[in-house]
């Protein structure tokens, strides 16, 4: 009996400890729980991370890779009307457009097939189109990823098919998604609900593809906050899905609400839990944070009079308005600014950097914003003064003239003193 009571007391103690521990963990956590294994929520404008669950752990990106592939095509081959002819069989396993030798598409059309249908064969064609070979394009992918701070990513192909050396993190993919969404053409394509291609001589069937992103197209339901609601979510405007057995379900999302754009990167999920996780953290961001504009371009525009110019003055403004992200209920800090103009070198073109605006949070320098010209500024002497060689020659001539003038003054003063001395000596005699 005593043994039984002892065991019972021990069990009650352990159970109470467990409950207290669970309650403490719940009370101290202001971030929602999601079924996905890794996720990051990032503010598009500031890059601030609002939610992080295993954001720096290694994951496989699967077809979310194609977002980065598309962005690099747009960056290095911006002429989207250029025709691309299929000259060799690009057959690749998995999702495909089933391109045939002899077919011809514009770069824009292939980008649509890449991002909307997630076509692996298109990824290969576009990689070769940009860099000449898949291997060279992969080098470019890795270099560009590192340049924006995605330091824990290594790509080994342009489509995301399984490869042990093809990996990333939720944080890195959020960074890349943010960069992708800075391109207006990319934004146009990833929000398209479907795309179709007419039959060709070698492929006698119409190709019609629906966007793989259920946030844009699906009539399916998820149980969210105790209710069955549509997966389709009107505030979402892209960007890319992914799936392999090793990667699980993956999704990069962009959503706009309350004058904010948020980027979510969700990895290693199952089924429609992918959309449950993505919506949960997106709503968490919109419901708990707000944007505060600290510096507006209009308030801190200015002008400076510049002599010997046709326009007479330089007009400038900050390159962008500066906003900070605040958690609801957090008071905005006291900010101040200092304007520092560079030495003006003619000619100045509209958009040229002409100085910096230092933004201080209290006494601490928080950031600097380039000041840019909003007008052209040209010398009244035209190309003569604006030519670098001629300016150098003129400077040398001016320096020489001033030097000679000073020497003449010195000689004149010496002669003057000498004459006075001679006159004085004559009078003494």
CATH number for the domain including 347? 2.60.410.10
Q: Hunting for tokens 């069989």 — which residue is that? A: 89
Task: Verify that 265 and 310 share a domain, yes or no.
Answer: no
Q: pLDDT higher for 331 or 66?
A: 66
Task: Verify that 380 and 352 share a domain, yes or no.
Answer: yes
- Looking at the predicted structure, is the pLDDT value of residue 420 above 80? no
Task: Give one DSSP letter per residue of 250-291, joined into a string.
Answer: EEEEEEEETTEEEEEEEEEE-TTHHHHHHHHHHHHHHHHEEE
Query: Would residue 15 count as lying in a domain?
Result: no
What are 123's two structure tokens? 């990824």
pLDDT band with cut points at 50, 70 and 90 for residue 389 = low
Task: Verify that 264 and 305 share a domain, yes or no.
Answer: no
Residue from 53, 63, 254, 269 carrying the catalytic annotation: 63
Non-local CB neighbours of 50 within 8 Å, separated by 6+ positions = 41, 42, 43, 262, 281, 284, 285, 288, 289, 325
Task: Verify that 46 and 176 share a domain, yes or no.
Answer: yes
Query: Would residue 26 count as lying in a domain?
Result: no
Query: Would residue 18 count as lying in a domain?
Result: no
From 6-15, 25-34, 49-58, 281-290, the region with the lowest mean pLDDT = 6-15
Task: Verify that 280 and 308 share a domain, yes or no.
Answer: no
Task: Verify that 157 and 248 share a domain, yes or no.
Answer: yes
Identify the pLDDT of residue 107.
Answer: 98
Query: Would residue 355 count as lying in a domain?
Result: yes
From 91-95, 117-121, 130-134, 384-388, the region with the lowest mean pLDDT = 384-388
- Looking at the predicted structure, is the pLDDT value of residue 335 above 70? yes
Conformational region of residue 148, where left means phi above 0, alpha means psi within -120 to 50, and beta covers everything else: alpha
Query: Would residue 173 count as lying in a domain?
Result: yes
C-alpha 203/C-alpha 133 separation (Å) is 25
- Looking at the predicted structure, is the pLDDT value of residue 298 above 80? yes
Identify the pLDDT of residue 12.
Answer: 36
pLDDT 10s digits, 270-280? 999 999 999 99
Question: What pTM value is reported for the model?
Answer: 0.77
Residue from 66, 191, 240, 268 carrying the catalytic annotation: 66
CATH number for the domain including 73? 3.40.710.10
- Looking at the predicted structure, is the pLDDT value of residue 9 above 60? no
- Looking at the predicted structure, is the pLDDT value of residue 354 above 80? yes
Query: Would residue 21 count as lying in a domain?
Result: no
The answer to whether 345 is a known catalytic residue is no
Q: pLDDT higher for 230 or 17?
A: 230
Q: pLDDT higher for 6 or 421?
A: 421
The answer to whether 63 is a known catalytic residue is yes
What are 360's two structure tokens? 């201080």
For residue 90, give its domain range. 38-290
Domains of the chain: total = 2
Query: Would residue 97 count as lying in a domain?
Result: yes
Task: Verify that 267 and 355 share a domain, yes or no.
Answer: no
Angstrom CA distances, 63 to 111, 273, 372, stand at 14, 18, 39
Task: Verify that 261 and 301 share a domain, yes or no.
Answer: no
pLDDT 10s digits, 192-251? 999 999 999 999 999 999 999 999 999 999 999 999 999 999 999 999 999 999 999 999
Task: Verify that 230 and 362 share a domain, yes or no.
Answer: no
Helix (H), strand (E) counts: the chain: 11, 18
Average pLDDT over residues 360-371: 93
Is the separation of the CB atoms in 76 and 130 below 8 Å? yes
C-alpha 192/C-alpha 184 separation (Å) is 13
Query: Would residue 189 count as lying in a domain?
Result: yes
What are 227's two structure tokens? 């209710």
- Looking at the predicted structure, is the pLDDT value of residue 188 above 50? yes
Q: Indicate the residue among 290, 322, 356 that finishes a domain.
A: 290
Residue 56 burial by CB count (10 A; 0-12/13-18/19+): exposed, middle or buried? middle
Q: Indicate the residue among 258, 290, 322 that finishes a domain.
A: 290
Q: What are phi and psi of 161, to 5 degrees?
A: -60, 150
Q: pLDDT higher for 177 or 427?
A: 177
Task: Verify that 279 and 356 share a domain, yes or no.
Answer: no
Identify the pLDDT of residue 88.
Answer: 94
Residue from 95, 96, 118, 278 carrying the catalytic annotation: 118
The answer to whether 147 is a known catalytic residue is no
Q: Could you tell me where the DSSP H helices lie in 271-387?
A: 273-288, 383-386
């Amino acid at each position: 009996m005593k043994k039984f009571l002892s065991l019972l007391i021990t069990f009650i103690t352990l159970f109470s400890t467990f409950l207290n521990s669970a309650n403490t963990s719940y009370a101290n956590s202001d971030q929602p729980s999601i079924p996905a294994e890794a996720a990051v929520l990032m503010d598009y404008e500031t890059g601030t991370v609002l939610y992080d669950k295993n954001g720096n752990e290694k994951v496989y990106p699967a077809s979310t890779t194609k977002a980065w592939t598309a962005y690099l095509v747009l960056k290095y081959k911006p002429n989207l009307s250029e025709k691309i002819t299929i000259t060799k069989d690009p057959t690749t396993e998995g999702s495909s457009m089933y391109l045939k030798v002899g077919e011809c598409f514009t770069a824009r059309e292939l980008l649509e097939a890449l991002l909307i249908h997630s076509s692996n064969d298109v990824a290969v064609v576009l990689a070769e189109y940009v860099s000449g070979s898949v291997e060279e394009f992969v080098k470019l992918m890795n270099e560009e990823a590192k340049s924006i701070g995605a330091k824990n990513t290594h790509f080994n192909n342009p489509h995301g098919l399984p490869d042990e050396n093809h990996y990333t993190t939720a944080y890195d993919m959020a960074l890349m998604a943010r960069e992708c969404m800075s391109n207006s053409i990319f934004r146009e394509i990833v929000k398209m609900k479907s795309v179709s291609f007419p039959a060709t001589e070698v492929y006698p069937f119409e190709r019609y593809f629906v966007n793989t992103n259920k946030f844009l197209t699906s009539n399916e339901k998820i149980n969210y906050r105790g209710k069955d609601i549509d997966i389709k979510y009107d505030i979402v405007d892209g960007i890319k899905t992914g799936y392999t057995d090793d990667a699980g379900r993956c999704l990069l999302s962009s959503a706009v609400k309350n004058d904010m754009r948020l980027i979510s990167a969700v990895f290693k999920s199952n089924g429609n839990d992918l959309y449950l996780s993505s919506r949960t953290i997106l709503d968490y961001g919109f419901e708990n944070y707000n944007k505060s504009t600290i510096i507006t371009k209009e308030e801190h525009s200015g002008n400076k009079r510049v002599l010997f110019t046709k326009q007479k003055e330089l007009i400038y403004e900050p390159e962008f308005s500066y906003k900070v992200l605040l958690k609801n209920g957090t008071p905005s800090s006291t900010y101040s600014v200092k304007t520092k103009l560079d030495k003006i070198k003619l000619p100045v073109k509209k958009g040229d950097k002409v100085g910096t605006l230092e933004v201080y949070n209290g006494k601490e320098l928080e950031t600097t914003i380039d000041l840019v010209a909003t007008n052209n500024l040209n010398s009244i002497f035209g190309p003569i003064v604006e030519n670098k060689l001629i300016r150098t020659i003129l400077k040398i001539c001016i320096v020489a003239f001033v030097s000679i003038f000073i020497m003449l003054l010195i000689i004149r003063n010496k002669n003057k003193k000498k004459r006075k001395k001679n006159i004085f000596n004559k009078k003494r005699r």
